[in-house]
Structure 1
Amino acid sequence: MDSIIAVAAALLYAVAIATIVPGLAQQTGIKIRIVLVAATAALICHAWLLSDLIFNDSGQNLSILNVASLISFIISLVLSAAMLKQRLWFLLPVAYCFAAINLTAANHLPSTFLHHLENDPKLLIHISLALFSYATLTIGTLYALQLAWLDNRLKSKKSLAINPNMPPLMLIERHLFKIILVGNLLLTATLLTGFIFVHDMFAQGKGHKAILSFMAWVVYSVLLWGHYQQGWRGKKVTWFAIVGATLLTLAYFGSRFVREIILS
């Protein structure tokens, strides 16, 4: 049954992508209702699959693939909800593509990393904050990439026609820094709860997570300071966002990828 659900979710994500991409390429209208129905059905299937993969009688299976699939679900859910008010057509295909890949991998390449979060609510708070901070800052990085792409097209004058499916450049920039600010606040809370609740945070094999996460926090803090105090824009903002997201990805998934996927 899980395999059927995974295939159904991947196909529904593909339908949503196939509906969006031609509108972006040809600057034509996008059938919002089809995208919304396909994305909603895909998210329902994705959530159903995650509940089967993560929750079992032995605890919660927070393997790297399950966590990656959960994060991609959160990102797709947030962007799909925002689609109703904002033109996020450039971001949605990227998010849906990663969601389809992650849920397929989680279903067909099973791995185990059991926790008993019901017995440790403080750890549950820390992990929840970590998930939402990473998802939020990843969305911010997608916004930064969209901003860089649009800025490049405008400067190179490759397309003089205004694509009705793309939001205004200044609106994207405004949303970008709001998202990064929220994400950095969540990351701050993640680090604080880690120091308070996780007693072995700097134990062998775990210390790099705290160090890399703190480095990412510094990068995002400098980015926010540079924008609001020095007026940073353009490529500098994009590179800071990419560096911060890369550091967080290495912190959250680096050693576990080697341990759970490569070595096993």
Structure 2
Amino acid sequence: MLFVATLIAITAYLGAAWLQWQRLSSPDSYSGRLIRLLGLGAFIFHGYAVYALLHYPEGIDLGTFRVGSLIAWVVVGILLASSLRQKLDNLFIGAFPMAAITAALAAFAPDTGDHRLYSGGLVVHILLSLLAYSIFTLAALHALVLSRQEKLLKQHHTRGLLHSLPPLQIMERLLFEMLWCGFILLSTALITGFLFVEDLFAQHLAHKTILSIVAWLVYAILLAGRALLGWRSQTAVRWTLGGFILLMLAFFGSKIVVEMLLKG
């Protein structure tokens, strides 16, 4: 059942992404509601697969591929909900294939994690970290679209992607709304980490902790620069992507080293 659910999710994700891509050249070719319903179906089957892969009688498996699938699932859920209020449908083109790839890796790649029981405080820290990473993933995707939108405007293109996007000012506002939300979650995750993790600077955690703090500083500088200096457009894009790369290295870099290289 796990493999069937994963295959259905992958097929639905890729189908929805392809339909959204077709809408760029022909906005009336497919209904946005149809694409969201297809994405919702993929999200439901993906959710079943995530639950089955993470939960075991001995504890929770937070291996690299399985956590990656969980994060992608959360990203899709947030995006589907947000797309009902904001014009974010074009992010489906990046988020859905990402979810399909991570779902496939989680289900079919070798398991690299351990099954462990976690205390309540540690579970809160993990959930906040995952939510923060998910929001920043969306922000990074949004920043890439924003960067492309600005370049198309300078080249005086009016069709395709540019025609389907909100005005540049609204896109920038949405980006900073995501950044503020992610920044608050990351700040809370770091605080709970210091409260509930026994030693955040232990040998196997130091890399993750230091890079996470540096990423927090990057986002803090970006948000301060926006408020005090009016940073926008390509400056905001570069700082957003820089902070995201640091977070990606903090989370997945440390897990890959511990789970694959050291164990190997």
- Shorter-chain TM-score tier: over 0.9
Q: Which residue of 2 aligns with 1:205?
A: 204
Residues 130 and 186, structure 1, Cα contact 8 Å, conserved in 2: yes
Distance 1:145 1:50 in 2: 27
Distance 2:161 2:124 in 1: 44
1:158 partner SS: coil
Distance 2:161 2:32 in 1: 19
Structure 1 153/19 Cα, relative in aligned 2: closer, same or farther at 3 Å? same
1:248 CA drift (Å): 0.5
Distance 2:160 2:44 in 1: 37
Q: Which residue of 2 aligns with 1:122?
A: 121
Distance 1:189 1:9 in 2: 32
1:114 CA drift (Å): 2.0
2:144 partner SS: helix
Aligned-residue CA RMSD (Å): 1.6
1:163 CA drift (Å): 4.9
1:168 CA drift (Å): 1.8
Structure 1 92/162 Cα, relative in aligned 2: closer, same or farther at 3 Å? closer
Distance 1:184 1:246 in 2: 15
Residues 61 and 116, structure 2, Cα contact 8 Å, conserved in 1: yes
Distance 1:210 1:162 in 2: 38
Identity over the aligned pairs, expressed in percent?
33
Q: Which amino acid aligns with 1:196?
A: L
1:1-264 to 2 correspondences below 5 Å? 1-111=1-111, 112-117=113-118, 120-159=119-158, 163-261=162-260, 264=264
Q: Which moved more, 1:141-150 or 1:55-64?
A: 141-150
Structure 1 142/162 Cα, relative in aligned 2: closer, same or farther at 3 Å? closer
Structure 1 30/84 Cα, relative in aligned 2: closer, same or farther at 3 Å? farther
Residues 19 and 34, structure 1, Cα contact 8 Å, conserved in 2: no
1:15 CA drift (Å): 1.5
1:139 CA drift (Å): 1.1
1:200 CA drift (Å): 1.7
Question: CA deviation digits over 1:66-123, x for unaligned, max 9?
Answer: 1110000000111111222222122111000000000000000131222202xx1010
Residues 65 and 102, structure 1, Cα contact 8 Å, conserved in 2: yes
2:90 partner SS: coil
Q: How many residues align?
A: 262
Residues 8 and 42, structure 2, Cα contact 8 Å, conserved in 1: yes
Structure 1 50/19 Cα, relative in aligned 2: closer, same or farther at 3 Å? same
Residues 89 and 165, structure 1, Cα contact 8 Å, conserved in 2: no
Q: Which amino acid aligns with 1:233?
A: R
TM-score (structure 1 length as normaliser)? 0.94
1:132 CA drift (Å): 0.6
Structure 1 88/170 Cα, relative in aligned 2: closer, same or farther at 3 Å? same
1:123 partner SS: helix
Q: Which amino acid aligns with 2:117?
A: H
Distance 1:162 1:223 in 2: 27
Distance 1:115 1:236 in 2: 42
Structure 1 169/30 Cα, relative in aligned 2: closer, same or farther at 3 Å? farther
Structure 1 151/164 Cα, relative in aligned 2: closer, same or farther at 3 Å? closer
Q: Which amino acid aligns with 2:116?
A: H
Question: CA deviation digits over 1:198-256, x for unaligned, max 9?
Answer: 11211112111110000000000000011111001121111100110000011111022
1:145 CA drift (Å): 1.3
Distance 2:195 2:186 in 1: 14
Query: Structure 1: any 5+ residue segments left out of the alignment?
Result: none
Query: Structure 2: any 5+ residue segments left out of the alignment?
Result: none
Structure 1 26/176 Cα, relative in aligned 2: closer, same or farther at 3 Å? same
Distance 2:120 2:98 in 1: 30
Distance 2:233 2:167 in 1: 15
Structure 1 162/10 Cα, relative in aligned 2: closer, same or farther at 3 Å? closer
TM-score (structure 2 length as normaliser)? 0.94
Q: Which amino acid aligns with 1:212?
A: L
